Amino acid sequence: MTQLQSLRGMVDLLPGQTQRWQAVESMARSHFRRSGCLEIRTPLLEVTELFARGIGEATDVVGKEMYSFQDRGERSCTLRPEGTASVVRAALQHGLLAQGGQRLWYAGPMFRYERPQAGRQRQFHQIGVEWLGVASPVSDAEVIALAWDLLADCGVEGLALELNSLGTPADRKAYRTTLVNWLDARREHLDADSQQRLNTNPLRILDSKIPETQSLLQDAPMLEQSLCDESRERHQAVIEALDALAIPYQLNPRLVRGLDYYGHTAFEITSDQLGAQATVCGGGRYDGLVEQLGGGPTPAIGWALGMERLLLVLAAAAEANPSGRASRLVQPAAPDVYVVNRGDAATHQALVLCRRLRGFGLVVERDESGSAFGKQFKRADRSGAAFALVLGDEEAARGVVRLKALQAASGAETAFPQADWSLNDLDALVAQLRKG
């Protein structure tokens, strides 16, 4: 019988990888809690119209990459390709915006049908932040700082912030006309995808990865030339707030976001940890999205980071600096104690002991092999535990358990009486384990 495999672009997270993901997620939760952000969880499956209306029908995501199908009720459904539209839909549906501004965060899988590559799969995972009901330029800098500090705390090195203003809808409309006229006169020099985008989503041509197109764009008109005075002043206020936070930035007038709902501030945070600058986080302001989805005019800003890309960056950082933050974050967690046990009576006693110690909040791993003590001690050393608890026929007969220091050069041992393994009886043993 043929062995079944996962679908292309749908990747299993094995236990060792999952530990690293959990470490990053825990770090993110800590930063969000301290910034007053509350978690929201939305369904994987939404009506297709949500993304067609919110993201934009002319975008690559909606036009080429979504997993959409008709369900048994003849409704067009889509596996969510990004998180923002779902969060805004949930906030509107449940009246959260009537309660005032919302600082929300989410984490989970997204789906896009694109060519799988390192750090980008068809099922991918994002952690994101959406601040709804916040309008000031200072809030733009604050949400950028949240992403910057999280990445730095994870140990990502070589961080760089690229910043641009996409202006108002009127600014972009004026610029779109100017850009289309300029590009149309040079249509034959554009790649095939850019020629198609010229009629649907011309601003996305600025983000083309085709070298010939990028070379042509060096002389193209710039969006900043179409910004109104209000947009310029707002952009300058964001810059001044970033200066106050001492977050370095590079102005990139060709930075655009791939989704239609963005306006004013747009940004990406990159790292050179993989050799070339790789984007690990991107976002911006989307003041018109709530209204597009049926709500009232509501300012909003957010960002998302890709977990797969971030874990690649952290692995590179850990390899480059084995004693750095990234290495400490992604290394497997070691148990507090490893229990070496052999023999029927000793195994039963070890079983009770493990349960009691876990009740104290200790991480306890018991060897289940029943093999010789020498082999068990080798596994104990590999586990990274500071101590081993040893229970064999001799210890069972004497009514003791031996505590052996694994990391200390002396390998010192101490014997503790078993008694009935009541909580009081274990005080001294637990104190020694925690001290280690």
Indicate whether 47 and 128 sit together in one domain. yes
Indicate whether 320 and 251 sit together in one domain. yes
> What pTM value is reported for the model?
0.87
Indicate whether 346 and 309 sit together in one domain. no
Indicate whether 234 and 124 sit together in one domain. yes
- Range(s) of the domain holding residue 388: 337-435
Parts of the chain with a pLDDT under 70: 57-60, 63, 257-260, 408-411, 419-426, 435-436
Indicate whether 309 and 357 sit together in one domain. no
User: Do the domain assignments include residue 2?
Assistant: no
Rounded Cα distance, 345 and 343, in Å: 6
Final residue before a domain boundary, out of 301, 328, 355: 328
Indicate whether 136 and 271 sit together in one domain. yes
User: Do the domain assignments include residue 198?
Assistant: no
Indicate whether 347 and 319 sit together in one domain. no
User: Do the domain assignments include residue 408?
Assistant: yes
The 10s digit of each residue's pLDDT in 6-29 is 999 999 999 889 999 999 999 999
Indicate whether 368 and 236 sit together in one domain. no
How many structural domains compose the chain?
A: 2
396, 345 in Cβ contact below 8 A?
A: yes
User: Do the domain assignments include residue 235?
Assistant: yes
Indicate whether 362 and 412 sit together in one domain. yes
Query: What's the one-letter identity of residue 122?
Result: R
The domain that holds 430 is classified in CATH as 3.40.50.800
User: Do the domain assignments include residue 8?
Assistant: no
User: Do the domain assignments include residue 185?
Assistant: no
User: Do the domain assignments include residue 128?
Assistant: yes
Indicate whether 239 and 359 sit together in one domain. no
pLDDT at position 423, please? 42
Final residue before a domain boundary, out of 291, 309, 328: 328
Indicate whether 155 and 56 sit together in one domain. yes
pLDDT at position 269, please? 96
The 10s digit of each residue's pLDDT in 232-291 is 999 999 999 999 999 999 999 888 765 567 889 999 999 998 877 789 999 999 998 999
The domain that holds 94 is classified in CATH as 3.30.930.10
pLDDT at position 419, please? 59
Final residue before a domain boundary, out of 328, 352, 369: 328
pLDDT at position 409, please? 59
56, 261 in Cβ contact below 8 A?
A: yes
Would the CA dihedral through 215, 225, 223, 267 be positive or negative? positive
Return the residue matching tokens 């299993």.
12
pLDDT at position 210, please? 84
Indicate whether 352 and 322 sit together in one domain. no
Rounded Cα distance, 54 and 290, in Å: 9
User: Do the domain assignments include residue 316?
Assistant: yes
